[in-house]
Every structure is written in C-alpha cells, then in structure tokens.
C-alpha cells in the first residue's frame, strides 16, 4: 500500500513519514502529495499568530482540548522562528503540548527551517494538505506574526486569530500595521493583567479606524486567560461564527482562489528554480558567475539574462 493510501486511512506513522520525506525533498513525496490532493479541502484551518511571549502555544493547547471534546481530530503545525545556522527551533513551549501526546486524535508537527529551495510557507502548505487528507477536521497553524513569511502562512487559514498581551505598548504600535488586516478574530491573552481592558479598547479603536473595516466581517476583540482555560469557549464560538460567515457570504470562494493561486505559484517557483539551479551547477556556469562577480567583471543582472536566453530561449528584452 502506498504511503498516500495509508495516510488516507488516517495512519499517523505514515503521515509522519511522508512529512519527513517532504522535508528531505524526496521526489517520491511529490507523487504522494499528488495522490492526496483530491482528498484535501475538508479541514477547517485556523491560523494563530502574534508576538513572542503572547501565550500562543498555551492557547493552541486549550483550543485543541476544546475541539477534542467536540470529538474533532486536530492537526497542529507550529512554525517556529528560524535559526539560520543551526536549524534549531524554539521547542521549549512545545513541551506543554505533551498532554495530547498519547491522543491519536492530535497530530503535532513543528516546522523550524524553510527548505533548501522553497520557503517555509511552501512546506507549511504541504503539511497542511497531509493533515487535511488524513482526516483532521481542524488544522491549527501557529506562527510568530511579524515577517512576510509568517503573514503568507496565516493566509492559508480560513480564520486568522491575532493574539496580543496587555501592555505591549510600543510593540502594539510597531506591529499593528501588518497585523490588523490579517486578523479575523483578536484575542488579548493574559487578560488578568492590569492593562488588559486598555489593550482591548486600544485594539478596538485601531480596528474601527482600519480602512479595511467595511469588508463585511467585523473582527471582535476577545479576552482569554489561556493558562486557566478562561475565554476559550467564547473563542471557539467566534471561530465558528467566522467559518459560517465565510460560507454564507460567499467570501469562501475568494479565499479559496487566493489560497489555490498561492499554492500553485509557490510550487511553480520552487520547481523552476530547482531545475535551473541544478543546471547552472552542473555546467559550471554558477562558478564562473561567482568568479566574475568577485572582480566585478560580471554583473549578476546580465549573467541572469544570458542564462535564461541560453537555456530557455527567453528573450533578452
């Protein structure tokens, strides 16, 4: 039986194996992903983002418990800040998830580094598809919401939750521009802190001023204390409300168009570059360009045009 068939039967070990194969860039993994693709599209994908220290992992833990109580299987993709040299991720707070470790209805995957040629959003997309195909009804993507990569990642989610903490002060100012527009639900976690109500008010005002506010869905600001399991039910209700809104308003179609285009174009970019990268290494062109650039005899813009013309017959414009 192929790996894909075993994944479709919900076999956890097969899914874990396929994800490793994807990481290792095995060509066979692409064939398995092709087989899985027709069986994707059922999972409800939730993105959780926010600054470091906002308590995202604890919140994901509690959300997972809430969905498990509803009998739903939950897949989690935790995208950690990358360590470019060692490839190491921040796994400390993943340990908290241990209470789900023996639960076959929960599958957790940490993604630390982007692949050799593709971005981390590419890997995340593949992993979400595997979780979806194996029958996870809810897939949660957790990431740190600052960089463009992270924003690309949460765009794969049907519903994006932005998690803040009270009293971030300057930090809220600093990240709001990028993050206000991507949030469908806002959560002020650690809501027992003094400044919680002010942060809720500040966020509500910013959302009110947001030029994007007439888009049909008005994001709410909720309070949670994830570590004491407070506010989680309300959050689950709000997520469900947003899911229903997507379908009743027809917004789901635009969402799927964008998501499909991203997945397709990302795969195209990765494969295209992989082919050309291999080509110029094998024929010695890469080394020649590098030597030329060292002495500034070769400029990289011209070198690229020559390679595209020679290999692909692409006009030098």
Write out the H or E segment, with its range, that includes residue 185: strand 185-188
Is residue 85 a contact point for a copy of itself (CB under 8 A)?
yes
The only residue of 82, 159, 160, 224 in contact with a copy of itself, by rule CB under 8 A: 82
Is 144 one of the binding residues for a copy of itself (CB under 8 A)? yes
Q: What are the Cα distances from residue 232, in Å, to 120, 199, 252, 269?
A: 29, 19, 25, 39
Residue selected from 10, 25, 81, 167 as contacting a copy of itself according to rule CB under 8 A? 81
Kindly state whether residue 226 participates in binding a copy of itself, applying the rule CB under 8 A: no
Q: Any contact of residue 293 with a copy of itself (CB under 8 A)? A: yes
Minimum CB separation from a copy of itself for residue 70, in Å?
Answer: 26
Q: Measured from the CB atom, is 176 or 223 closer to a copy of itself?
A: 176
Q: Compare residues 205 and 265 and give the one whose CB is closer to a copy of itself.
A: 265
Q: Closest CB to a copy of itself among 15 and 153?
A: 153
Residue 238's Cβ-side half-sphere holds a number of Cα atoms within 13 Å equal to 23
In this complex, which beta carbon is closest to a copy of itself, that of residue 22 or of residue 140?
22
Among 103, 260, 283, 288, binds a copy of itself (CB under 8 A): 260
Instruction: Find residue 86's DSSP bridge partners.
Output: none
- Containing 74, the helix (H) or strand (E) segment is strand 74-79
The rounded distance, in Å, linking the Cα atoms of 206 and 208 is 5
Among 115, 178, 193, 206, binds a copy of itself (CB under 8 A): 178
The residue with tokens 């299987």 is 73
Q: What is the DSSP letter of 113?
A: S
**CA atoms 131, 150, 158, 38: torsion sign:** negative
**Which residues, numbered 264-283, are part of the site for a copy of itself (CB under 8 A)?**
264-265, 267-269, 271-273, 275-277
Whichever of 65 and 276 has its CB closer to a copy of itself, that residue is 276
How many residues contact a copy of itself, by CB under 8 A?
79
**Beta carbons within 8 Å of 306's beta carbon, 6+ residues apart:** 316
Taking CB under 8 A as the rule, does residue 284 contact a copy of itself?
A: no
CA neighbor of 306 nearest in space, from 176, 163, 314: 314
Let me know: does 154 contact 47? Beta carbons within 8 Å.
yes
Using the rule CB under 8 A, is 250 a contact of a copy of itself? no
DSSP bridge pairs for 79:
111
Q: Segment contacting a copy of itself (CB under 8 A): 14-22, 79-87, 186-194, 220-228? A: 79-87
Is residue 195 close enough to count as binding a copy of itself by CB under 8 A?
no
First and final CA of the chain: distance in angstroms? 50
Residue 216 touching a copy of itself (CB under 8 A)? no
Pairing of strands 138-144, 106-111: unpaired
Among positions 7-66, residues that touch a copy of itself (CB under 8 A) are: 27, 30, 33-34, 37-38, 40-41, 51-53
Q: Does 301 bind a copy of itself (CB under 8 A)?
A: yes
């Amino acid at each position: 039986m192929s790996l894909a068939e075993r994944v479709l039967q919900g076999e956890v070990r097969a899914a874990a194996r396929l994800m490793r194969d994807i990481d290792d860039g095995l060509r066979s993994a692409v064939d398995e992903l092709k087989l899985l693709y027709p069986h994707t599209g059922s999972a409800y994908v939730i993105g959780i983002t926010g600054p470091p220290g906002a308590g995202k992992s604890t919140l994901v833990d509690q959300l997972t418990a809430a969905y498990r109580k509803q009998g739903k299987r939950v897949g989690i993709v935790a995208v950690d800040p990358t360590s470019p040299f060692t490839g190491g991720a921040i796994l400390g707070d993943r340990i908290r998830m241990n209470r789900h470790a023996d639960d076959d209805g929960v599958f957790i995957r940490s993604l630390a580094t982007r692949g050799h040629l593709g971005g981390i959003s590419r890997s995340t997309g593949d992993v979400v598809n595997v979780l979806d195909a194996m029958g996870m009804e809810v897939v949660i993507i957790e990431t740190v919401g600052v960089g463009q990569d992270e924003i690309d990642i949460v765009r794969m989610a049907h519903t994006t939750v932005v998690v803040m903490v009270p009293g971030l002060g300057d930090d809220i100012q600093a990240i709001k521009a990028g993050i206000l527009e991507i949030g469908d639900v806002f959560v002020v976690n650690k809501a027992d802190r003094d400044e919680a109500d002010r942060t809720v008010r500040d966020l509500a005002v910013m959302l009110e001023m947001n030029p994007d506010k007439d888009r049909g869905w008005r994001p709410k600001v909720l309070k949670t204390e994830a570590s004491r399991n407070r506010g989680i039910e309300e959050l689950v209700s709000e997520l469900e409300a947003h899911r229903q809104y997507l379908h009743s308003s027809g917004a789901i179609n635009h969402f799927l168009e964008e998501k499909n285009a991203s997945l397709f174009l990302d795969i195209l970019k990765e494969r295209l570059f992989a082919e050309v990268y291999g080509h110029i290494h094998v024929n010695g062109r890469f080394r020649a360009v590098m030597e030329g650039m060292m002495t500034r005899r070769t400029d990289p813009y011209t070198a690229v045009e020559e390679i595209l013309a020679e290999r692909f017959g692409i006009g030098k414009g």
